[in-house]
Amino acid sequence: MRTDTPQPIRLADYRPPAFLVDEVNLTFDLQPNATRVKARMQVRRNGDHAEALRFNGERLKPISVAIDGRTLGEAERTIDGEFLVIPDAPDAFVLETEVEIDPENNKALDGLYMSGGRFCTQCEAEGFRKITFWPDRPDVLSRFTVRIEADKAFRHLLSNGNLVQSGDLPGGRRFAVWNDPFPKPCYLFALVGGELDVLEDKLVTMTGRTVDLRIYVDPGMAPRAAYAMDALKRSMTWDEEAFGREYDLDLFMIVAVRDFNFGAMENKGLNIFNSSLLLADPATATDMDFERIESVVAHEYFHNWTGDRITCRDWFQLCLKEGLTVFRDQSFSADMRGHAVQRIKDVKALRARQFAEDQGPLAHPVRPSSYLKIDNFYTATIYEKGAEVIRMLKTLIGPDAFRAGMDLYFERWDGHATTVEEFIRCFAEASGRDLTDFFAWYEQAGTPKVTLASRYDEAARALHLELTQATPPTPGQPTKRPLPIPVTVGLLDQDGRTQAFERDGKAIDETVIVLDGASAKITLTGVDRPPVVSALRGFSAPVRLESDAEPKDRYVLLAGDPDLFNRWEAGQELARALILARAEGRPDEVGEERYAEAVGRALSDQAAEPAFKALLLALPSEPDLALAMRPADPGAIHEAREALRERLAVHLQHELRRLHTGLQDLGEFSPDAAGAGRRALRNAALELLAANPRSEIAEVAAGHYAAAANMTDAMGGLNALMLIGGEPFEQGLTDFYERWKSEPLVIDKWFAVQARDPSETALGRVIGLTAHPAFDAKNPNRLRALVSTFANFNPARFHDPSGAGYRFLADQILAVDRYNPMIAARLIDALGGWRRYTPELGALMKAELQRIVSTEGLSKNVFELASRALA
């Protein structure tokens, strides 16, 4: 048990910084075990007060502290493990400090550390305090000049901004000096030093400036950066066209590193990426990798305006940059890859992660009001729900007012650190709308449930709709108020044709109903035939919709809703109901057959894109189903879902085989949406075929794997073999490992496919794999591939009735927490939902959480999440 109870930080306690740093010169003498960092800062008292100067500093070995050239004695300053305090600082002065740090032994991967023999940094949110003494908060903006010195072996010495000078030094050393003309908070600082290869390109911006683009990667890997470079150029041009935002430096750099706690980081002019989100070629990366690379490259680039030039006043405002930037990258991906398919994928991810978060003890608002460790708040709620809130804002005020509000925001806040209130104020002004009620979306946690009842009055040709909303309580928020919810509605007739109607006297095909109270009654007129209601089109709000629609209505929507999101959704709802009925012991065999037939018809629809059909073929995931079952029984869900998969596989075997043969890639591989869509459908067909318990399927899967000309198909084949199991899977695994053992990113996939294996023996195998020579728990990608994949994507085995799956996870959390608290804390999520499961399982999960919190020497990160999960 922790003896010191950590004190939460509260939004309500925000106060402006007591001291500002306008200008800083940093000098790094890079040595793996003893790097010296000198800082020369122009410091200024902020406002009329007599407070002491208190700068953050953790894991720093202080060498000296001087003010205006005079070294301070021990009595003039104090240094404890967390702060440098100078009681009697002047109002404006030069502060010079020198510290020593040990990058090589920094396995928390936060601050300055080493990855693959190279120096690199990660400072968001609070890593800069592990590099030098600093007011480590996002509302202190400073101009940085950085001098780096190192042994010649570290050939590339990089930091933010423009290269001012570089050259050789005596003793086989080199130096480089960088200057960033844009004032920035320290969390956007970056430094890289090492031997790297570079891929170079150029882009001409909308005003005709030429920007140099460089992607730095491990030696020999430059060709694998080509796709990221292409995605970068498309992102830069898209931001000019969609938001009028031009890049502002003459150089833009990205560096890929193998050891990285998250996806990527938007440091000004020098983005640092997890190599798994940057390196790709057809042989080693799947289409899903290409797709993620495209969206993360865009995301980090878009941060240049939404994050770097305009940043957050404090970390409670994290969604100001993250939710907005996710919204921007989702819009970009939709333009690149098709709006409907992108929307479906985004909503699947939202439901899987954010809805689950909202239903558990870790639920929190898009803008939280207190935290222990801000690193614990880089969540699906802040990112994905944060993006949904902005999407609703655009729906509510319309695209023109939305763009005008964004323009006003950029104009008003460029160069500043600001708040969500100020952001929303820009849209209120641009649209002339009162957005006071809308703001509740930022402050209220939980997923609203919207119910829809409809009644058709044939004589009056009127459709009466009654909508209500209710949000279940979440921790700390027992009562909820109504939110303004945009519900996009269209009508079909019983034959699946679009049916026009009237609202306020105007004939239309679609309308947005804003439900802004607890309930609302709306009448649509001019409805000539009995309608089928297509509600919440495009998933117009992040809510759970319960409508009184009958299965027959959903079949109409599945066959012909022009809103492709709702066409897909109708299929999911039908499947969900069938699987849950079976899991609860009342299988509906007739309904299952009918569903299989409808999916067969949808597959033969010539007009539908392959990527869309691939999504139609996939049943709701087991975690998604678990959210809909109370209490959740993961074993029963798995069995029931497999039963429906088998029925589909048998019923559709000829269509599936036809798709599988007919969609083979002919000619050259292209990672574009069309090529990826065909491969997705072909692999989805194979995955479903694998549910047909007949031996020749193993041959088809083995043949698919053996003939694969790219990683997408190789993984499609290996995945199918995993589902079939037995000797063919073992052979595939051995072959795969031998072929790819020198490619870490590919071997991550090898670990992950075994972690997803739902068969009885999988847990033993996963535990065994932690002793495999290629397993390295200090590398976050490898750890996630095995442990996080198992805990989050293999519910049937993770929730083993013996509790062994939970025990395995808790052991991993405790082991990793000793050196990397951020990564350890992220694993807690999987235990957080314990109240939603059967009492037997819930008790076992809870016991592991209790074992975690009662462990000596726990990090704040893990302590915060584990204790909140128990509360």
Residue 175 near residue 166 (C-beta atoms within 8 A) = yes
Give me the least distance between CB of 277 and ligand ARG, in Å please: 10
Give me the least distance between CB of 378 and Zn ion, in Å please: 9
Out of 83, 243, 378, 775, the residue judged to bind ligand ARG by CB under 6 A: 378
Provide the angle, in degrees to the nearest 10, between the axes of the packed helices 318-337 and 386-397.
70
Identified catalytic residue from 96, 98, 300, 384: 300
- Decide whether 298 or 700 has the Cβ nearer to ligand ARG: 298
- Decide whether 147 or 299 has the Cβ nearer to ligand ARG: 299
Beta-carbon contacts of 735 under 8 Å, excluding residues fewer than 6 positions away, are: none
Residue 498 near residue 562 (C-beta atoms within 8 A) = yes
28 Rama sector, left if φ>0, alpha if ψ -120 to 50, beta otherwise: beta
- Decide whether 299 or 544 has the Cβ nearer to ligand ARG: 299
For residue 543, what is the DSSP state? S
Structure tokens at 458: 């044939």
Give me the least distance between CB of 357 and Zn ion, in Å please: 18
Residues from 734 through 773 that contact Zn ion (CB under 5 A): none
- Decide whether 306 or 754 has the Cβ nearer to Zn ion: 306
Residues from 325 through 354 that contact Zn ion (CB under 5 A): 325
Interacting stretch for ligand ARG, rule CB under 6 A, among 213-221, 260-268, 446-454, 634-642? 260-268
Out of 86, 95, 125, 231, the residue judged to bind ligand ARG by CB under 6 A: 125
Give me the least distance between CB of 300 and ligand ARG, in Å please: 6
Residue 53 binding ligand ARG, by CB under 6 A: no
- Decide whether 154 or 247 has the Cβ nearer to ligand ARG: 247
CA 36-41-42 angle, to 5 degrees, is 170
Interacting stretch for ligand ARG, rule CB under 6 A, among 22-30, 263-271, 398-406, 550-558? 263-271
For residue 72, what is the DSSP state? P
Provide the angle, in degrees to the nearest 10, between the axes of the packed helices 399-413 and 420-431.
130
Residue 262 binding ligand ARG, by CB under 6 A: yes
Residue 491 near residue 527 (C-beta atoms within 8 A) = yes
Residue 349 binding ligand ARG, by CB under 6 A: no
Give me the least distance between CB of 22 and ligand ARG, in Å please: 25
Interacting stretch for ligand ARG, rule CB under 6 A, among 257-265, 718-726, 727-735, 855-863? 257-265
Give me the least distance between CB of 325 and Zn ion, in Å please: 5
Residues from 281 through 310 that contact ligand ARG (CB under 6 A): 299-300, 303
139 contacts which partner out of ligand ARG, Zn ion, none, CB within 5 to 8 A by kind? none
Out of 265, 293, 324, 688, the residue judged to bind ligand ARG by CB under 6 A: 265
Interacting stretch for ligand ARG, rule CB under 6 A, among 133-141, 259-267, 749-757, 794-802? 259-267
Give me the least distance between CB of 806 and ligand ARG, in Å please: 25
Residue 265 near residue 184 (C-beta atoms within 8 A) = no
Residues 763-782: x/- map of binding to ligand ARG (CB under 6 A)? --------------------
| Catalytic (active site) residue 300 | yes
- Decide whether 190 or 570 has the Cβ nearer to ligand ARG: 190
Shortest CA distance to 189 belongs to which of 357, 416, 403, 24? 24
Interacting stretch for Zn ion, rule CB under 5 A, among 318-326, 357-365, 370-378, 683-691? 318-326
125 contacts which partner out of Zn ion, ligand ARG, none, CB within 5 to 8 A by kind? ligand ARG
Residue 295 near residue 333 (C-beta atoms within 8 A) = yes
Give me the least distance between CB of 125 and ligand ARG, in Å please: 5
Q: 856: number of CA atoms within 13 Å, CB side?
A: 0
Residues from 95 through 124 that contact ligand ARG (CB under 6 A): 124
- Decide whether 265 or 524 has the Cβ nearer to ligand ARG: 265
Using a CB cutoff of 8 Å and minimum separation of 24, what contacts does 468-474 make? 468/518, 468/519, 468/520, 469/515, 469/518, 469/519, 469/543, 470/518, 471/444, 471/446, 471/447, 472/359, 472/446, 472/447, 473/446, 474/358, 474/363, 474/364, 474/445, 474/446
As a dihedral over the C-alpha atoms of residue 134, residue 137, residue 142, residue 145, rounded to 10 degrees, the angle is: 50
CB-neighbour burial class of residue 27 (10 A; exposed 0-12, middle 13-18, buried 19+): middle
Shortest CA distance to 765 belongs to which of 790, 741, 799, 801? 790
Give me the least distance between CB of 357 and ligand ARG, in Å please: 15
Give me the least distance between CB of 60 and ligand ARG, in Å please: 19
375 contacts which partner out of Zn ion, ligand ARG, none, CB within 5 to 8 A by kind? ligand ARG
- Decide whether 98 or 375 has the Cβ nearer to ligand ARG: 375
Give me the least distance between CB of 820 and ligand ARG, in Å please: 12
Q: Number of residues interacting with ligand ARG: please give it, by CB under 6 A.
A: 12
> Cβ-closest residue to ligand ARG?
378
Q: How far is CA 662 from CA 188, 656, 665, in A?
A: 49, 10, 9
Out of 149, 218, 357, 375, the residue judged to bind ligand ARG by CB under 6 A: 375
- Torsions phi, psi for 316 (to 5 deg): -65, -25
- Decide whether 124 or 592 has the Cβ nearer to ligand ARG: 124
In whole angstroms, what is the distance from residue 847 CA to residue 152 CA?
Answer: 53
Residues from 351 through 370 that contact Zn ion (CB under 5 A): none
733 contacts which partner out of ligand ARG, Zn ion, none, CB within 5 to 8 A by kind? none
794 contacts which partner out of Zn ion, ligand ARG, none, CB within 5 to 8 A by kind? none
Provide the angle, in degrees to the nearest 10, between the axes of the packed helices 589-603 and 634-651.
50
- Torsions phi, psi for 499 (to 5 deg): -120, 120
| SS3 assignment for 570-637 | HHHHHHHHHHHHHHCCCCCHHHHHHHHHHHHHHHCCCCCCHHHHHHHHCCCCHHHHHHHCCCECHHHH
In whole angstroms, what is the distance from residue 632 CA to residue 642 CA?
Answer: 16
Interacting stretch for Zn ion, rule CB under 5 A, among 243-251, 315-323, 819-827, 853-861? 315-323
In whole angstroms, what is the distance from residue 573 CA to residue 550 CA?
Answer: 11
Interacting stretch for ligand ARG, rule CB under 6 A, among 4-12, 19-27, 64-72, 258-266? 258-266
Using a CB cutoff of 8 Å and minimum separation of 24, what contacts does 669-673 make? 669/282, 669/709, 669/710, 671/227, 671/280, 671/282, 671/287, 671/290, 673/336, 673/337, 673/338, 673/341, 673/611
Interface positions with Zn ion (CB under 5 A): 322, 325
Binding site for ligand ARG (CB under 6 A): 124-125, 262, 264-266, 299-300, 303, 322, 375, 378
Provide the annotated active-site residues. 300
